[in-house]
Structure 1
Amino acid sequence: MKNELIFNSDLHFEHNQWRRELFFWEDELKSFQNRLEELVKRWTKKEMLVQLEHYQNQFILQDDVINTLQDDIHIHEISIAAASKNGKDLLDTTLVKKHIEFRNRMEVQRHIYRDLKKEFFKFLTKYM
C-alpha cells in the first residue's frame, strides 16, 4: 500500500463540502416540516396524526444529528488550524484517523437521511 501525503488543505476542502451538504439537509428539513404542518391541518384521523408525529420526531432527530456533525466539523477544523499554526502542514496520524472516522460518520448519515427522505416522499405521495 502506497503512503499518501495528506495536507491540512485537503481536509479543510472536505470539511467545506460536508458543511454545504449539512446546510442543504437543514433547509430540506425545514421544507419537510412545512409539509407536515400542512398535513396536520388537513388530517384529523388518529392513525394519520401518529404517522405525522413519527416524521416530526425523525426530523427533530435529524436536525440534532446535523447540529452535532456541524459542531464536530468545527472542532476538527480548530485542531487542523492549530496544527497549521504550529507549522505542521502535514497532519499527524491521530488527526487523520479522526478525519477518516468522521468521513465514515458522514457516509452513514447520508444513507440514514436518504432513506428517511425516500420514506417521507412515499408517505407524501399517498396523502397529499
Structure 2
Amino acid sequence: MEKTKEVLYNEDLHFEHKQWQSELAFWEDELKSFNNRLAELVHRWTKKEVLAKLEHYQNEFILHDGIIDKLQEEIEIHETRIAGQTKTGHNALDTAMTKKHLEFRNKMETQRQIYADLKKEFFHFLSKYM
C-alpha cells in the first residue's frame, strides 16, 4: 500500500495566516474592552480581595497581549518565508517549513483554549462584581 503525502500550498497557508491574524486582532480588541471593565471595577471596589483579583486579571491580560504580539510576529516571519519561496517558483512548502507551520497551528489551538478559559473565568468574575 502506497503512503500518500499531503501537500501544503503557499496560498492555503497564507489563507490560514490571515484567519489567525484576524483572530489575534479580535483578541486584542477584546483585551482592550476587558481592561476598560477592570478600570470601572477599580473605582467601585475597595475590598483587598477584589482588588487582588483585579490585579490578577490585569496581569493575565498583559501577559496574553504579549503572547498575541509574539504570535503575530511569528506569522509575519512565516509569511516572509512563503513569499520568498513563491518568488523562486515553489508553490508548496518544504518539509522543515511544513513542520514549523504545523507546530504553529498547534500553538494557536493551545492559545485559543487558554484564552477561552481566561474569558470564561473573567466573565464569571464580572457577573459576581459588576
* TM class, shorter-length: over 0.9
Q: Trace 1:12-27 onto structure 2 (pairs within 5 A).
A: 12-27=14-29
Deviations 1:64-83 (A, max 9, x none): 00000000000000011111
Q: Trace 1:49-68 onto structure 2 (pairs within 5 A).
A: 49-68=51-70
Q: How far apart are residue 90 of structure 1 and its match? A: 1.2
TM score, norm. by length of structure 2: 0.97
The equivalent residue for 1:106 is 108
The equivalent residue for 2:42 is 40
Q: How far apart are residue 6 of structure 1 and its match? A: 1.4
1:125 aligns with 2:104: no
1:5 aligns with 2:7: yes
The equivalent residue for 2:33 is 31
How many angstroms apart in 1 are the aligned matches of 2:6 and 2:124?
44
- The one-letter amino acid of 2:108's match is M
RMSD in angstroms over aligned alpha carbons?
Answer: 0.7
The equivalent residue for 1:74 is 76
How many angstroms apart in 1 are the aligned matches of 2:47 and 2:15?
48
How many angstroms apart in 2 are the aligned matches of 1:52 and 1:6?
44
Q: How far apart are residue 2 of structure 1 and its match? A: 2.4
How many angstroms apart in 2 are the aligned matches of 1:44 and 1:2?
63
How many angstroms apart in 2 are the aligned matches of 1:26 and 1:57?
15
How many angstroms apart in 1 are the aligned matches of 2:45 and 2:35?
15
The equivalent residue for 1:91 is 93
Unaligned runs of 5+ in 2: none
TM score, norm. by length of structure 1: 0.98
- The one-letter amino acid of 1:18's match is W
How many angstroms apart in 1 are the aligned matches of 2:4 and 2:37?
50
- The one-letter amino acid of 2:52's match is V
Unaligned runs of 5+ in 1: none
How many residues are paired up?
128
Which runs of at least 4 in structure 1 moved beyond 3 Å after TM superposition?
none
